[in-house]
Structure 1
Amino acid sequence: MCSVVGYNGSSSSSNIILSGLSRLEYRGYDSAGFACIDNRTQQLEYAKVQGSVEKLAQAVTAGSIDGIMGIGHTRWSTHGAPIAENAHPHFDCTKTVAIVHNGIIENHYELRQELANSAHIFHSQTDSEVIAHVLEIALEQHADIHKALIQAVNRLEGAFAFLAVSEKHPEIIIAVRKRSPLCVGKGVDGMYIASDPLAFASYADQVVFMPENTFALVYKHNVEFFNFDGSECFLSFQNITFQDNATNKNGFEHFMLKEIYEQKEAIGSTVNFLEETGELIWDYIGLTPEQIKKLDRIHLIGCGTSGYAAHIGQFFFEHFAMLKADYHLASEFRYMPLFVSPNQAYIAISQSGETADTLEVIRMLNASQLHTIGLTNVPTSSLVREADGFLLTQAGPEISVASTKAFTTQLTALYWLAMHFGHVRGVVSKSTLDNTARELHIMAQLLESTLDMYKFDIIQKYAPHYAQFKKMIFLGRHVGYPLASEFALKMKELTYIFAQSYPAGELKHGPLALIDAQTPVILISSTDPLIYQKLVANAQEVKARGAHLVVLGFEGQHELAQLADLYFACPVVKPLQAPFVLAGLMQFFVYQIAYQLGCSIDKPRNLAKSVTVE
């Protein structure tokens, strides 16, 4: 959730650190901080603020704080309020050790009590501050920094990636990783460390991703890696390239709007990439066609938007591959009984590939020797490295916290893979399979054209009207229900309007009591004839109770259109293709409501892009 960035080299660190923090600010933006070793005094200097990296930059400039070695942080609060006192960096008692941390120290309460009883003084409410004090003791007890770190890291429990600098060792940045992402970059002017290589995209052309339970001593022009037991860890740097426009809005007012309009290209790129893999796809996912024929169940796992993509994917695999599919929320799956049986596979879905709950599920499944596949947008992610196989989308970096193109490219990959499973299992014909890529390209085009068809009406009429409501209900059936849930999530994330989704068939079992004229009901239609008739009945039920009804429907659905107060008529597609056609329209609708309300669209309150803590 938080971001850490470090630099040790021949240039001034402040601009490099601040640039890196700006690139990663979508991961957390409650507060920000910077610390460095002053070139002249060899002492620590720092600034930290409540609020944005821009505010931090002003504080750093005002204080003339700089050095050739520095660390920085953006915070998403887990322990302690988002105030300056809880902002990183945190320090030891003598203020000669500074740390920045992403993750959670699970034994922080016990450590804090123990340290306080030994006269250590704390200045924040955070779990992170204990790291500085644990390091303080270890560095006092061991002149050898290597031995000190072995002692320190083995006292900490939880998921953490932290950087530390010490006046006793002014030539080194300490980097430690356990169950939270951390990478080291190499460039002409020095060494870079960050939660995500995007932080040093302008500076480094090589990167190494630190493995689990390792620490590093990062010097100006080299780095040494060690396991937590002290043994040396030999890692090789790999070349890395970045998209030039990854962190630019390209003329759009918000990243979200840019990313909504990138979906057509992102879906197309994902389809082309998957098609080009050919028979190598089985090597990528780690299953042979013979193993796929023998599968009797597949599990799809995710959190948030990726969880809804998993739920929609359930319909793809059951319909196209005639394969029993179950969808699970990663945050709940870990605490349920695990029934180990052969001929099952697990697909874990995460935009970043660093979602903590999803990674913990992967680790649990791997420990039981169950086959895991990671579906992600980031080829260098922990999910790709830790799963038995992987499937990559081609969305490109997604900066806005609210997911748009990552969601639709996840659906694209799941649709494509389910079709190929179906062909291997003898359910999908060769001609149908060959037509899959073409149909997905058409869906990408329809997503954008449907949005454009209603764009000006949404901006001028609908968004100003619906921004006045305080709560909304979303309804759907079959594949429309998880889609309704995703749309309700977007409404909550971006507008702070209370929005709840229900299976439309459950209305009479309680939710109907919520219906009134002040609560718009947004109904997701279907082109399946039977489901459509059931949805018409649901629409009649809510209208009979005085509801204001909005329908995302399809051309020719006259009965539903007559019942609706607002009807969006979308091009007719096959029932399981509806999520593609409707996604862009609803994303734009919610975006414009948030815009009307003056909400922070790219950085909604209390949220962060990459959820790297459980």
Structure 2
Amino acid sequence: MCGIVGILGREPVAPLIVDALKRLEYRGYDSAGVATLEAGELTRRRAQGKLVNLEARLRSEPLSGLSGIGHTRWATHGKPTEANAHPHATDRVAVVHNGIIENYQALRAEIRAAGRTLSSETDTEVIVHLITMALDRGMKPVQAMSETLTKLQGAFALAVLFAGEDDMLVAARRGSPLAIGHGDGEMFLGSDAIALAPFTNSITYLEDGDWAVVTRRSVQIFDEAGTLVSRPMTRSVAASLTVDKGNHRHFMLKEIYEQPEVISHTFGHYLDFAESRAELPEGAGIDFTTVERLSVSACGTAYYAGLIGKYWFERLARMPVEIDVASEFRYREMPLKPGGLSLFISQSGETADTLASLRYCRQAGQRIAAIVNVPTSTIAREADFVLPTMAGPEIGVASTKAFTCQLSVLFSLAIAAGRQRGFLSEADERRLVQAAVELPRLAAHALKLEGRIERLAKELSKAKDVLYLGRGTSFPLALEGALKLKEISYIHAEGYAAGELKHGPIALIDETLPVIVIAPFDALFEKTVSNMQEVAARGGRIILITDEKGAAHASLETMETLVLPDVAPEIAPLVYSIPVQLIAYHTAVFMGTDVDQPRNLAKSVTVE
């Protein structure tokens, strides 16, 4: 996750910005930069690599400005070079950006047609030029920002500094988080309260779609429609914490809301958005043409991520996949061909059963790949190919953002495998990568269902049992949904392949049983509708999670229908996982359980 910091200060801000960026290092990054106003003119210092490189640059070329913005970047569009590092700037405006501008190719063409030259490979640079072009037409900075926001498609957080405007920062949030810190004659912006903890504990969190004009003495916040709005100021306890809940009641909810951001950064690590192709990073360059069969092993939620990955590898790369829960894999003495590839998935990288399975495969002469969220973990150290997720610290025991980041890695690998093995054309690859580009926006859209889900969860909290159904990749997601509900609400729940309904589970259905059906309008939708009709005929209370076409074609009475945006069927699990997580979360809240630390569970299971 990129880090954003902005300061309107009373002393030179560059050292303060760097210190604040250090507090965001847990998010991960590959370059960094600062821009300040020096006598009204924009001046930048940027560096590839860690913040120590930026600090060295600032020691040799110091900045003295009292207003500035800073950034730590995870590369998405363009390699991690100084030229691609933020802030991006013209002589009139500087911008730091977290997220993805989906329509940047069209905007680049518009900018070039206007005779302007782009100097980086990034999507961010188009924002700089759009604002500058508006200023050149005579617009004031706030007007230029307002117009530019209407042209941007995607999920993003922005901090903008204007030449000649020493007492103004403009911020915007659509999908990615952004907070305003209030000081005494000084103001601050940050990706989260952690960055601002040394300066203030008075925080205002921008809501999705908000943009704000910040001066040293005031804040004006506008919603997406341009209406002046008021957002509450809260007291942050981030100064005493490594990670802060922000304005969320639980870490789990905060982590659910971080998904548009972390998904974008995970995809950015494995996909070249500029060229619309899968480009595995150095150290993860697996030659899939030599893989006859992929063996996958994991536990819990990571296992369900692997199950979805199995569908992707088999469909996109025509690669046979064998998958087991690690606690079974390690004991069933699976025959393995030396030189084969085994893949292990773990959030912590310390899961005992998964680690034991890895070592079994190592002894059998397998090459080892690991998808982990902690790159210094034991599983990562013992793997031949380390495939990191970019989820950042996940505090809630019930995995949310780590799950969708695992899916992001698996989807990227499946595309790469499909291309290498000749089963995906260049056009196929381009279409699938473009679908990934759109995911942060679609995930942010899914989060807008929270209000309806909260009302639904009040009814679900009265249930003793819940059944989840799905077909295709929605089947593993049904398993994951049932697991989430069990983990944190303590309500008994089961996930089934929808086609298995009449092979046993149908006996459970009566008017007291909620049945949650995950059914995007895809090639399997009509068959899932048939299963829903079987439920309806027996009085079951159906909760349908689908899209607009699915809602229109289902023509069944439901307890609730949650309508998600249209999404490419291959990547539907990444979007559909969000309402599944919110259902579990809000049901648990109504039940009064300890959401972040449910009974009997641990975040990392390091014993058998």
Query: Which runs of no fewer than 5 residues in structure 2 stay unpaired?
Result: 1-196, 198-238
Residue aligning to 1:490: 484
What is the aligned partner in structure 2 of residue 564 from structure 1? 558
State the shift of 1:282 in Å. 7.0
Asked if the contact 2:372/2:388 (under 8 Å) is kept, the reply is: yes
- How do 1:184-195 residues align onto structure 2 when only pairs under 5 Å count? none
Percent sequence identity over matched residues? Answer: 40
CA shift at 1:347, angstroms? 0.8
- Which of 527, 532, 536 aligns to 1:539? It is 532
Distance 1:613 1:561 in 2: 49
Once the 2 structures are TM-superposed, how far is the Cα of residue 525 of structure 1 from its aligned partner? 0.6
1:561–1:351: structure 2 CA closer, same or farther, 3 Å change rule?
A: farther
Partner of 2:425: 429
Contact 2:519 2:528 in 1 (8 A): yes
Any stretches of 5+ residues in structure 1 without a counterpart? 1-201, 203-242
Identify if the C-alpha distance between structure 1 residues 362 and 286 changes in structure 2 by more than 3 Å, giving closer, same or farther.
farther
Does 1:462 find its partner at 2:456? yes
Question: Is 2:549 the counterpart of 1:550?
Answer: no
1:595 — aligned with what? 589
TM-score by length of 2: 0.58
> 1:284 deviation in Å?
1.8
Residue 474 of structure 1 aligns to a residue in which SS?
strand
Give the structure 2 partner of residue 360 of structure 1. 356
Report if aligned partners of 1:296, 1:343 keep a CA contact under 8 Å in 2. Answer: no
- Does 2:385 correspond to 1:386? no
Deviation string 1:342-379 (CA, Å, 9 cap, x unpaired) is 56311100001001100000011101111110100111
Distance 1:246 1:321 in 2: 41
| Equivalent-residue separation in structure 2 for 1:249 and 1:509 (angstroms) | 44
The alpha-carbon distance between structure 1 residues 392 and 245, as it changes in their structure 2 partners (threshold 3 A), is: farther
- Deviation digits for residues 28-81 of structure 1 (CA, Å, limit 9, x no counterpart): xxxxxxxxxxxxxxxxxxxxxxxxxxxxxxxxxxxxxxxxxxxxxxxxxxxxxx
Greater C-alpha radius of gyration: 1
Which amino acid in 2 is paired with 1:268? S
Q: 1:373 — aligned with what?
A: 369
Counterpart amino acid of 2:485? Answer: M
Q: Say if 2:522 and 2:569, in contact at 8 Å, map to a contact too.
A: yes
Alignment match of 2:312 (pick from 316, 327, 330): 316
Q: Superposed, which structure 2 residues align to 1:149-160 within 5 Å? A: none
Q: Tell me whether 1:613 sits opposite 2:568 in the alignment.
A: no
The one-letter amino acid paired with 1:533 is: E
Whether the 8 Å CA contact 1:595–1:601 is kept in 2: the answer is yes
Q: Give the aligned partner of residue 438 of structure 1.
A: 434
Maintained 8 Å contact 1:527/1:574: no
Distance across 2 between alignment mates of 1:436 and 1:502:
28
Alignment partner, residue 518 of structure 1:
512
Matched, 1:480 2:479: no
**8 Å Cα contact 2:435-2:571 kept in structure 1:** no
Indicate the SS of the match to 1:281: coil
State yes or no: 1:285 paired with 2:284: yes
- Pair 326,444 (structure 1): closer, same or farther in 2 beyond 3 Å: farther
User: Which residue type is aligned with residue 520 of structure 1?
Assistant: P
Change (3 A) 1:517 1:319: same
Q: Is the 8 A contact 1:246 1:397 kept in 2?
A: no
- Assess, with a 3 A threshold, how the Cα gap between structure 1 residues 282 and 594 changes in structure 2: closer, same or farther: closer
- Partners of 2:420 and 2:349 lie apart in 1 by 28
Q: How does 1:54-453 map to 2 (within 5 A)?
A: 246-275=242-271, 281=280, 284-285=283-284, 287=286, 289=287, 292-342=288-338, 344-452=340-448
* Separation of aligned partners in 1, 2:432 and 2:597: 36
Give TM-score, length-normalised by structure 1.
Answer: 0.57
Cα gap change, 1:293 to 1:550, in 2 (>3 Å): same
For residues 463 and 336 of structure 2, the distance between their equivalents in structure 1, rounded to whole angstroms, comes to: 47
What RMSD over aligned residues (CA atoms) do the two structures have, in Å?
Answer: 2.2
The runs of at least 4 consecutive aligned structure 1 residues that moved more than 6 Å come to 276-280
| 1:520–1:549 contact (8 Å) kept in structure 2 | yes
Does the 8 Å contact 1:561/1:567 carry over to 2?
no
**Deviations along 1:6-37, whole A, 9 cap, x unmatched?**
xxxxxxxxxxxxxxxxxxxxxxxxxxxxxxxx
Partner of 1:378: helix, strand, or coil? coil
Amino acid at match of 2:429: L
For 1:541, the aligned partner's letter is E
CA contact (8 A) 1:246 1:396 kept: no
Q: Is the 8 A contact 2:251 2:396 kept in 1?
A: yes
Map of 2:497 onto structure 1: 503
> Match for 2:452: what amino acid?
D
What is the CA deviation profile of residues 547-603 of structure 1, one whole-angstrom value per residue up to 9, with x for unaligned ones? 111111121122325242211121222222111111111211211111111110000
Q: Distance in 2 between matches of 1:434 and 1:397?
A: 31
Name the amino acid aligned to 2:333.
P
Give secondary structure in 2 for the equivalent of 1:300: strand
Contact 2:257–2:447, Cα closer than 8 Å, also in 1: no
Distance 2:278 2:580 in 1: 36
